[in-house]
Amino acid sequence: MAHGRDTLPDGPTEKCGVVGLSLADRAAARPLYYSLYALQHRGQESAGIVTHDGFQQHSHVDMGLVGDAFSESDLAGLNGTTGIGHVRYPTAGSVDKSCAQPFTVSFKSGSLGLSHNGNLVNAGEIRDTLAAKGHAFTSDGDTEVIAHDLARNLLEGDLVRAVKRTMERIHGSYALTIMHDDTVLGVRDPEGNRPLCIGELDDGYVLASESAAIDTLGGTLVRDVRPGELVLLERDGSGFDSYQLVSHERTAHCFFEHVYFARPDSRIDGTLVYQARRELGRRLWDESGVDSDVVMPVPDSGRAFASGYAEAAQDDGADVEFAEGLMKNRYVGRTFIMPTQDERERAVRLKLNPIRSTIEGRSVTIIDDSIVRGTTSRQLVSLLRDAGADEVHVRIGAPPIVAPCYMGIDMATREELIAGDQSVDDICEEIGADSLSYLSIDAVAAALSSSRIDLCLGCVTGQYPYDIDGEETDRAVERPAVTDSAPADD
Ligand code: AMP
């Protein structure tokens, strides 16, 4: 098998949460701010909101968590009943404001704001073509490439046609909320890799990465934005128009959204994430259940998996207790934010503390959603042994992660992935567990009611649904040719 590349093809990836809002006659800033709070798990590095009051754009973007990025006066200055927002996930090296979003640009026929979740695989080619035409770029991110391409197309056609042209040029993963002057639109890539949904409020419409943001605003989920669809919110908040701009034969929904990234209370592509995780947990028991005295989740990511696993075990008559034996210090950030391995090792100890009485003298099964570098499992196994566990079994609700994600999830490089070049037995030994099992790819596909080909499984197969330099693809996809002239209208 080809080893594949270890770096990203085009600059930093955008691992994020996006929102867009159009209201009848209420300021959009505060509901946008609340919806970004609801999407905070999708990005903690920076947060931003752009609104439009019918005359001009207002923007505030800052580093840090949503609660830290905006003051009362920042929100008060964001005038207008329409707007978009963004939270950005931390990535190594991108700790300045140049990558923070929404990205804004003004051009001859108006202003644009863009919030992007995903990652293009041909941004470099498009950037080169546009740079040759005199476009000046201020960041190496692909969102700016989309913004410039769209701005150029807007000079030659109406909004819908301009978006179509841009969609025909860009290749890869994108869930976008866009503001063109005071009009808000949402776009999802033809494979629907990242989630995006539409919600209805009493006095308007909202677009959001996850339905939990709609719930937070007291709205109702209308439906997911379809792969290849443009949704255009009416400026007065009275409805939305839909344009199916690019056709798609197959989807490539990211299975890892269901496994780890999305909130359990969100409904993505017709499935409640919590329900999906419980089902994955049930299948984990069916495939590789092991007798033990107690089953415990790794909080919080393993909780729904562990409850499904324990329920399936009990349904089978297993005499096993389901217990919360690991307590989480909720004030410690995600371990991935720690830049060095040494700091990451210490962070796990800071983050989780065992309850000795549920563990001592017993055989314990811990359930987590995934193993990336192996840091969490290694630390937890030794923590549980120190707390007196007789046996420690590890069960994982996803297949081994063997390859990087190019489509918008910060998954570590190939070299850092513990399953990148090791067998399950080797990993079991390395983390010091009595046994280790992962869920099969087929079980993931069955639990998510998709055939394998309708999911993006790149990180667990090493084969991607997009044409990525130096990697294998799992289907016949071709990048659009990036030419000087925009494609002809149909
Ligand atoms: P590791 O400790 O490197 O093996 O990472 C596995 C732990 O990190 C699990 O508890 C996961 O819930 C969590 N995790 C998985 N993927 C990610 C990600 N992309 N970013 C942050 N945490 C993650």
Substitution site in 336, 340, 345, 375 for ligand 1 pocket (most atoms within 8 Å of beta carbon): 336
459 classed as catalytic: no
Separation CA 181–CA 410 (nearest Å): 32
Distance from Cα 372 to the centre of ligand 1, integer Å: 6
Substitution site in 13, 280, 334, 335 for ligand 1 pocket (most atoms within 8 Å of beta carbon): 335
What does the pLDDT look like over 303-343, one tens digit per residue? 999 999 999 999 999 999 999 999 988 877 654 555 566 76
Secondary structure class of 119 (helix, strand, coil): strand
User: Binning pLDDT at 50, 70 and 90, where does residue 11 land?
Assistant: very low
Atom of ligand 1 nearest to the CA of 412: 19
pLDDT at 274 over 60: yes
Q: Residue 442's closest CA among 398, 394, 395?
A: 398
Which residues contact ligand 1 via a Cβ below 6 A?
260, 298, 301, 334, 336, 368-377, 409-411
What does the pLDDT look like over 335-348, one tens digit per residue? 455 556 676 666 77
Four-way CATH pick for 16-252: 3.60.20.10, 3.40.30.10, 3.40.50.1000, 3.40.50.300: 3.60.20.10
Which 8-state DSSP code applies to residue 258? I
- The pTM score is 0.92
What does the pLDDT look like over 132-176, one tens digit per residue? 998 888 888 889 999 999 999 999 989 999 999 999 999 999 999
Distance from Cα 404 to the centre of ligand 1, integer Å: 13
Atom of ligand 1 nearest to the CA of 375: 2
pLDDT at 183 over 80: yes
CATH topology of domain 274-450: Rossmann fold (3.40.50)
Task: State the sign of the Cα–Cα–Cα–Cα dihedral 96, 102, 105, 106.
Answer: negative
Separation CA 288–CA 285 (nearest Å): 5
Question: Is 425 in contact with 383 (CB distance < 8 Å)?
Answer: no
